[in-house]
């Protein structure tokens, strides 16, 4: 299609134009979404495969825009990064997740002794503000630092490995745990394991999806689990959807898992019920 712009005829792909218009609307709505209180968190359980106990949760961000409806985080988080909004949004996620986990602990004591994991984007990790935000969220909530897990992706470590290493070291000094998210999907994963001290490896869902209904664990999944064990790291398999995947992982000595087989991400009240409903008292 030809679109006349500033007196010139420009060849313009209508699909691209639509994408540009949609992107601009998304940017408009996202700016101010935090102030309008349009975000909330949902919580997906992490279970211990030995006894099905919930040992932790991952906080996942949700945005319902009155104009655009529900927009998935895969779509809006990169835009928030580009617009420089992820710092404030991320700080809110930290405060809210810590506040929720601390409230469960206050209400239920040891029965609510589960970790709370928060996703941290590359842009957040590159900013000195992250350390302050984590410190503030812990102080305001009273959540013990050891109950907080920060999930970072390998890609977040690529841009500026030295700065990332310094940032992770400072965070660990606070006492929080670090998890390497989507493990195996980034570049030179093994190099990072040598350079960065982490506590948890999360095996990406794309690997879990390769586990056949019958038969052995695929060599890569097998290798990732063994690697984590050799390094004395906690290992969590993501995106477990079938009983067969669960059985294979358990037989392969993967201790923890997360996925629709156990629970989808839950509203806070449902997550709390699941957490405290699992033990007497
Ligand atoms: P992620 O950190 O890898 O989160 C796991 C994603 O897998 C979540 O998607 C979750 O709902 C989904 N999932 C869980 N179990 C299953 C399963 O059994 N099968 C399948 N197919 N999917 C499953 P969600 O909530 O849409 O989040 C997508 C991504 O957005 C996250 O990937 C994370 O990278 C990012 N994200 C979410 N919340 C935040 C946040 O608060 N801050 C930042 N920076 N990023 C976030
Ligand atoms: Ca994650
Ligand atoms: Ca992940
Ligand atoms: Ca992922």
Q: How far is CA 41 from the centre of its chain?
A: 11
Neighbours of ion ligand 2 (CB under 5 A): 119, 151, 181
ipTM confidence: 0.98
Give the pLDDT of residue 281: 44
Q: Which residues line ligand 1 at a C-beta cut-off of 6 Å? A: 44, 60-61, 72-74, 77, 93, 119, 121, 181-182, 205, 239-241, 258-260, 265
* pLDDT tens-digit map of 17-41: 788 999 999 999 999 999 999 999 9
Give the Å distance between the CA of 8 and the centre of ligand 4: 43
Distance CA 166, CA 204 (A): 25
Strand locations in the chain (E): 2-5, 8-11, 39-48, 54-65, 69-71, 115-119, 148-153, 177-183, 200-203, 234-237, 256-257
With a CB cutoff of 8 Å and minimum separation 6, the contacts of 29 are: 65, 67, 68
- Cβ(18)–Cβ(37) below 8 Å: no
Distance CA 49, CA 208 (A): 15
Written in H, E and C, the secondary structure of 49-71 is CCCCCEEEEEEEEEEEECCCEEE
Distance CA 257, CA 236 (A): 5
* pLDDT tens-digit map of 175-192: 999 999 988 887 656 777
Give the pLDDT of residue 71: 97
Q: How far is CA 272 from the centre of its chain?
A: 19
Give the Å distance between the CA of 5 and the centre of ligand 2: 43
| Nearest alpha carbon, ligand 1 atom 21 | 239
* pLDDT tens-digit map of 146-181: 999 999 988 888 878 888 889 999 999 999 999 999
Give the Å distance between the CA of 4 and the centre of ligand 2: 45
């Amino acid at each position: 299609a030809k679109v006349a712009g500033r007196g010139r005829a420009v060849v313009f792909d209508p699909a691209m134009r639509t994408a540009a218009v949609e992107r601009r609307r998304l940017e408009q709505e996202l700016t101010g979404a935090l102030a309008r209180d349009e975000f909330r968190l949902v919580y997906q359980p992490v279970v211990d495969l030995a006894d099905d106990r919930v040992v932790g949760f991952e906080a996942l961000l949700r945005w319902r825009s009155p104009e655009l409806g529900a927009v998935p985080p895969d779509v809006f988080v990169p835009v928030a990064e580009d617009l420089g909004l992820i710092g404030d949004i991320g700080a809110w996620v930290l405060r809210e997740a810590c506040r929720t986990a601390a409230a469960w602990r206050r209400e239920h004591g040891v029965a609510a002794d589960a970790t709370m994991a928060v996703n941290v984007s590359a842009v957040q990790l590159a900013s000195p503000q992250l350390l302050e935000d984590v410190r503030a969220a812990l102080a305001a909530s009273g959540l013990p630092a050891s109950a907080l897990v920060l999930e970072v992706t390998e890609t977040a470590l690529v841009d500026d490995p030295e700065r990332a290493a310094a940032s992770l070291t400072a965070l660990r000094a606070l006492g929080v745990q670090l998890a390497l998210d989507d493990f195996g999907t980034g570049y030179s994963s093994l190099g990072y394991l040598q350079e960065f001290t982490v506590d948890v490896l999360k095996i990406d869902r794309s690997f879990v999806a390769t586990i056949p209904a019958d038969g052995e664990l695929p060599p890569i999944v097998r290798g990732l689990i063994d690697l984590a064990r050799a390094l004395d790291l906690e290992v969590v398999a993501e995106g477990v959807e079938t009983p067969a995947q669960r059985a294979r992982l358990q037989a392969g000595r993967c201790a923890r898992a997360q996925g629709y087989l156990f629970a989808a991400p839950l509203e806070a009240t449902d997550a709390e019920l699941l957490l405290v409903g699992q033990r007497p008292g």
